[in-house]
Amino acid sequence: MICVAIGRSRHKHIMAEHQHLAEQGAKMVELRLDYVAGKVNIRRLMAGRPEGCQVIITCRRKEDGGKWPGSEEARLLLLREAIAEGVDYVDLEEDVAGQIPRFGRTKRIVSYHNFRKTPDDLRELHARMSELNPDVIKLATMANDPHDNLRMLEMMQESEIPTVGMCMGDIGTPSRILAGKFGAPFTYATFHHERTLAPGQLSFKQMTEIYNYERIGPNTTVYGVIADPVGHSLSPHVHNAAFQALGIDAVYVPFRVPADALSRFMEDATRLGIRGLSVTIPHKEQIARSLTKVDPAVKSIAAVNTAIFDGPEIVGYNTDYNAAMDCLEMALGEIGADPSPLKGKRVLVLGAGGVARPIVFGLRKRGAAITIASRTLPRAERLANAFEAKAIDWEARHRGTYEVIVNCTPIGMHPNVDESPIQKTFLKPAMLVFDTVYNPESTLLIKDARSRNCATITGVEMFVRQAQLQFFLFTRQEAPAELMRDVLKRAIGPVKFFPP
């Protein structure tokens, strides 16, 4: 169950949001009385409540992340009044729970908050809270390391008293999504993603529409993306939609894993229920240390974007490489044709970083004549030396004749949508132009190429394809490609252009 926290200053807005949420299917709300401006009227809030949606009454002090402006005495009075009104649940912080006796039908949530860290003695803390006559124990602590999520989730799983444990901050987001798998009676979400009441909280809509939270249970398999930062990743949208469409009991979670926490995270992964991961910046190279096997192509590319947990093995793959080659071969002829339609093609690769490397490797394998232009010439030279390509100065990119241009730089990516790595006049009708940037889909380079009658491949195509191949490695089932493309396009949304 998802409990949606409502924090509004006016009674009528609280009641309207409560009503709206109940209509959206919410079964539980938390009314945050500390957000109310002026005198709180619990009776009015309760009288107007919709049917079938349980209520938690909470009045949080400032030191616990709340807004309560009044005295502690007045706050406790309000909590007692809520109990007298017979609300479903009342939230009592562990240091005051002993002062407020159980009464009537109201259940007691005994809570603990720590905005600095997830304490080392989590279990002792939980044991102390168990002594305070709780119906539910709630712990909300800051995650400073991904390992905090595992400690919180496993503690919750082992608890005999229903426990809602959440790690705050974006490192802690997985603990919110996986709460149901680890036995939490409910987890908290916010009314709107821009109005979070605690760091790292997701909205009711995100929890239901992206993560299908209500379907997550003890047997749900976990997949995810590891990155730092991770908030921009659209992989959760795409993979969760595919799991749902195929009726697969799995959830795909965004894991923010700082570089120095990677090895431990990989050790923890199976305890979190993880069977497969997408790997992106900054872990594509470093993850090699945590793998037991790699796909042969990965050895030359020296970058992994997929890790599969297969019994004792952790196997690394690179689906970016296959995705890019499939996109290019499809545009030029046939995927996997021998010889490849890329054979002998003069290809200009822009950029020499992590995106370029698998593409240059694939082009080399297929016999293309590759020229690499990077804004840092030594990088271009290093990549060129590794794959028998030619490196040129960035300024020289508009000289020479090419049949294919591949942009592997971030030039043109949101918000710099009016930038292009190539001058429009350099683009010729016979060229194939491939932009790996996917946000926006129609980059300036792609628009220029279309206006010059070039064939084009967008970053959306490549992203969907790498995700499709990943989905197959995860599940051994064909990915619903069209659905994944639609979901990705919807998640990117229309790009707004403002008149100059």
- Nearest CB to ligand SKM, comparing residues 94 and 320: 320
Q: Does 468 bind ligand SKM (CB under 6 A)?
A: no
Q: Does 295 bind ligand SKM (CB under 6 A)?
A: no
- Nearest CB to ligand SKM, comparing residues 1 and 473: 473
- Nearest CB to ligand SKM, comparing residues 149 and 278: 278
CB of 442 to ligand SKM, least distance (A): 19
CA proximity to 25, closest of 209, 240, 233, 270: 209
Examine the residue annotation and report whether 138 is marked as an active-site residue of this protein. Answer: yes
CB of 328 to ligand SKM, least distance (A): 16
- Nearest CB to ligand SKM, comparing residues 141 and 470: 470
**Alpha-carbon gap, residue 362 to 367, rounded angstroms:** 9
Examine the residue annotation and report whether 299 is marked as an active-site residue of this protein. Answer: no
Catalytic-role residue among 138, 237, 283, 345: 138
Counting Cα atoms < 13 Å in the Cβ hemisphere of 22 gives 15
- Tell me the one-letter amino acid at 182: F
Instruction: Candidates 173, 187, 278, 340: give the one binding ligand SKM (CB under 6 A).
Output: 278
Cis before 440? omega within 30: yes
Counted residue by residue, the chain has a size of: 500
Examine the residue annotation and report whether 496 is marked as an active-site residue of this protein. Answer: no
Catalytic-role residue among 18, 239, 283, 284: 284
Q: Does 461 bind ligand SKM (CB under 6 A)?
A: no
Token pair of 465 as six digits: 């394809």
Contacts of 235 (CB under 8 A, 6+ apart): 225, 252, 254, 278, 467
C-alpha angle 313-228-292 in degrees, rounded to nearest 5: 15
Q: Does 466 bind ligand SKM (CB under 6 A)?
A: yes
- HEC-encoded secondary structure of 21-72: HHHCCCCEEEEEHHHCCCCCCHHHHHHCCCCCCEEEEECCCHHHCCCCCCCH
Q: Does 320 bind ligand SKM (CB under 6 A)?
A: yes
Q: Does 235 bind ligand SKM (CB under 6 A)?
A: yes
CB of 43 to ligand SKM, least distance (A): 49
C-alpha angle 328-333-335 in degrees, rounded to nearest 5: 65
Any bridge partners for residue 109, and if so which?
Answer: 91, 136
Instruction: Candidates 244, 305, 420, 458: give the one binding ligand SKM (CB under 6 A).
Output: 305
Instruction: Candidates 190, 208, 233, 240: give the one binding ligand SKM (CB under 6 A).
Output: 233
Q: Does 409 bind ligand SKM (CB under 6 A)?
A: no
Residue for token digits 């046939």? Answer: 334
Catalytic-role residue among 11, 113, 181, 283: 113
CA proximity to 113, closest of 140, 149, 148: 140
Instruction: Candidates 118, 175, 201, 280: give the one binding ligand SKM (CB under 6 A).
Output: 280
Contacts with ligand SKM by CB under 6 A: the residue count is: 9
**Alpha-carbon gap, residue 436 to 461, rounded angstroms:** 9
Instruction: Candidates 225, 307, 328, 413: give the one binding ligand SKM (CB under 6 A).
Output: 225
Q: At what angle do helices 481-492 and 459-475 cross, to 10 degrees?
A: 130
CB of 413 to ligand SKM, least distance (A): 12
Token pair of 401 as six digits: 């004749």
Examine the residue annotation and report whether 18 is marked as an active-site residue of this protein. Answer: no
Contact set with ligand SKM (CB under 6 A): 225, 233, 235, 278, 280, 305, 320, 466, 470
| Catalytically annotated residues | 113, 138, 284, 320
